Each structure stands twice: as C-alpha cells, then as structure tokens.
C-alpha cells in the first residue's frame, strides 16, 4: 500500500471542516468516496468537496475496490457494526470518538481488530495537536516537577429548546444513540488526554445525576481517578449551569509548579514554575483532525506507530462508565 484512499461512512457536520478536507491535505492520502443514508446529502457532499464517488449504502463503500481505508463518522451506536464490517473486509479503520456507545462494544471492536490483525485508530485527535503535544512535553520534561494532581472543570449552560429540537444536536443527548449525554460527547477528549499524559489507571470512582431533566441523559458528572504512578485526577462536568458560570479549565499541579489551560476553548498554556509565569501560545488549526489523520496515514503505511489504539480508547470508555454508574 503506497497511498491511503479513504472512504467516509457518515459524511455529516463533523466532516465538513474538522476532518473531511484533511484527508486530501495529509501526505499520501486522498478522499475517494463518501456514504450517507440520505442519497441527496451524500451526492451534495461529494459535489462540494470534489469527492469522486458517493453511496447511500455502507456496504457498497466498504467493498469499493478503490477504497483501502475507512473513516467512520456516524453516531456512536453504529460504530461497532461498521468497524467490524470494515475489518472483515480487510480494511483499516479510523473511527470517531466516543469509540462506541458502551465499553462492551468498544472491546468488541478492539478484539475484532486483534483477531484479524487489522489496524484500528480512534479519533482522540487532540493527542496529535501541537498544543497538547507541548503539554505532554512539559510534563515529561518535569517542567513543573513531579506531577501530583490534575483537576478539570467543564461547566456549560443547558441546551436551549431550539437546540433540543434540532436533530443534528438532539441525538447527542439520546443515550440509545450516543451512549449518554454531553458528557459522553465531550469527556472522551479530556479523559483520553489524562490517560495519554499519565498512563495506566489503578482506581476509578464517580457519581452522575440528571439535575435539569431536560433530556434522558445525565447532565452532571463528577469523577476521580488514581493512576498507577500515584497521580490523582478529579473532574466535574455540569451542563445545566448559569451562563455566568461557564468554565473550561484544566490544571496540572506538580512539586515545582502548575500548568493551566482550556481543552476546548483555549490557544494558550500558562505555566507557573519556580516563581515565574510562562505562556505558550498556539494558532487555531483550520482542520482540527489534520495532525491525527496524518499520523493515522503514517501508521496505515507502516511508517509510524498507532496514535490511539482501540485498546486505549476502550479504556477511556471504561473510565466513563465507572463515572456514570
């Protein structure tokens, strides 16, 4: 395999800017086919993005002989079925987060890849962004000494009635489709970074509640992790708060200082170490998944390691379930 020719299953909103165009911008990579169950929308996407072929049936895209890798960007409830179908067709898979709508399905996907000796990457794409690679470098270099504690807070106002009436948003708070609510939509990025930064997990505890009762899923989650290396993590997620209380903050505290940054809304890292404050600033990316897609292409071409394996992403699913159960 000298070039990765991608087919997308589920060319919805997430693929318009975050990921879709990046498949043609990464080296040795091209987007050659897309699929959506609504044929008119699939054809429109292909026309607007200059994609040679479109389908309204996933099996036709998976079995397209010109497609040698599959990107699955559907809601989580269908990730397992599409991933296993692609693996069984002998094609490597890049699948959106959350990896699945539950831990059991995530393990099934990882098992299928292992059994078929197939490549599976999960789109925890912040791992490859320069912003978060810098944070990992600072941690690894002990710029704030030995890390002791990470704490995270994500607080947002409730979804409006109009948002809940929009099918493009409402599915994200339907547990049958998304596995949970906004916690399941957003926390995978955050918890994957903690796992990526700090390694294997020793203990997980958590609580969850549906405080606003605007939809079926929990809208408040609090969780704690003790990593095997002794680092402790605490996080709170509230999606029913006053707008004035909105917050997106992560702090990593060490024996010689701390790092402060936002996971979703920031472009700067603030480091307080040895009495001095340093700020590291980064430009926003046009296509937020482009670095991860480039790393995935290298992995599929046997030119690099797996940037986020199915086993790693399944562990993130396990942590999430421990929090909400």
- Smallest Cα–Cα separation from 192: which of 310, 57, 304, 303? 310
Residue 28 lies in a domain: yes
Residue 154 lies in a domain: yes
Average pLDDT over residues 126-153: 98
Please, is 230 exposed, middle or buried when counting C-beta atoms within 10 Å of its C-beta (0-12, 13-18, 19+)? exposed
Q: Is the pTM of this model over 0.95?
A: yes
Q: What is the pLDDT of residues 153-201, one digit of tens each?
A: 999 999 999 999 999 999 999 999 999 999 999 999 999 999 999 999 9
Band of pLDDT at residue 242, cut at 50, 70 and 90: very high
Q: What is the pLDDT of residues 21-39, one digit of tens each?
A: 999 999 999 999 999 999 9
One domain for residues 74 and 196: no
Can you give the pLDDT at residue 55? 98
What is the Cα–Cα distance from 80 to 101, expressed in whole angstroms? 9
One domain for residues 102 and 17: yes
Residue 85 lies in a domain: yes
Can you give the pLDDT at residue 1? 72
One domain for residues 150 and 39: no
Structural domains of the chain, count: 2
Residue 30 lies in a domain: yes
Can you give the pLDDT at residue 325? 87
Residue 196 lies in a domain: yes
Can you give the pLDDT at residue 295? 98
One domain for residues 135 and 202: yes
Can you give the pLDDT at residue 258? 98
Residue 314 lies in a domain: no
One domain for residues 17 and 145: no
One domain for residues 209 and 239: yes
One domain for residues 262 and 169: yes
Residue 321 lies in a domain: no
**For residue 59, what are the domain limits?**
4-125+289-308
Average pLDDT over residues 118-129: 98
One domain for residues 244 and 302: no
One domain for residues 121 and 134: no
Say yes or no to pLDDT of 53 above 80. Answer: yes
One domain for residues 178 and 241: yes
Can you give the pLDDT at residue 115? 98
Q: What is the pLDDT of residues 244-289, one digit of tens each?
A: 999 999 999 999 999 999 999 889 999 999 899 999 999 999 999 9
Residue 185 lies in a domain: yes
CATH code, 73? 3.40.50.720
Average pLDDT over residues 224-244: 98
One domain for residues 103 and 85: yes
Average pLDDT over residues 54-67: 98
CATH code, 134? 3.30.360.10
Average pLDDT over residues 220-226: 98
């Amino acid at each position: 395999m000298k070039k990765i020719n991608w087919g997308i299953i589920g060319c919805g909103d997430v693929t318009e800017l975050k990921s879709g165009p990046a498949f043609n911008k990464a080296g040795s990579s091209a987007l050659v086919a897309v699929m959506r169950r609504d044929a008119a929308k699939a054809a429109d996407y292909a026309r607007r993005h200059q994609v040679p072929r479109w389908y309204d049936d996933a099996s036709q895209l998976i079995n397209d002989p010109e497609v040698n890798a599959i990107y699955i960007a559907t809601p989580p409830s269908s990730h397992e079925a599409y991933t296993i179908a692609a693996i069984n067709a002998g094609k490597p898979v890049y699948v959106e987060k959350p990896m699945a709508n539950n831990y059991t399905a995530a393990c099934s996907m990882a098992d299928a890849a292992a059994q078929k000796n197939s490549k599976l990457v999960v789109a925890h794409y912040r791992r490859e962004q320069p912003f978060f690679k810098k944070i990992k470098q600072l941690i690894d270099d002990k710029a704030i000494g030995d890390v002791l504690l990470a704490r995270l807070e994500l607080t947002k106002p409730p979804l409006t009635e109009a948002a809940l009436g929009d099918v493009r948003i409402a599915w994200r708070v339907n547990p049958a489709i998304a596995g949970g609510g906004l916690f399941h939509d957003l926390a995978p990025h955050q918890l994957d970074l903690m796992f990526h930064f700090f390694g294997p997990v020793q203990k997980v505890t958590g609580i969850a509640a549906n405080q606003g009762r605007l939809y079926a899923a929990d809208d408040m989650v609090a969780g704690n992790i003790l990593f095997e290396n002794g680092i402790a993590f605490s996080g709170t997620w509230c999606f029913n708060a006053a707008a004035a209380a909105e917050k997106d903050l992560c702090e990593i505290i060490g024996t010689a200082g701390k790092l402060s940054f936002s996971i979703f809304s920031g472009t700067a890292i603030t480091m307080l170490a040895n009495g001095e404050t340093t700020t590291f600033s980064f430009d926003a990316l046009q296509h937020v998944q482009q670095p991860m897609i480039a790393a995935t292409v290298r992995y599929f071409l046997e030119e690099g390691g797996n940037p986020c394996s199915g086993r790693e992403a399944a562990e993130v699913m396990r942590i999430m379930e421990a929090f909400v159960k």
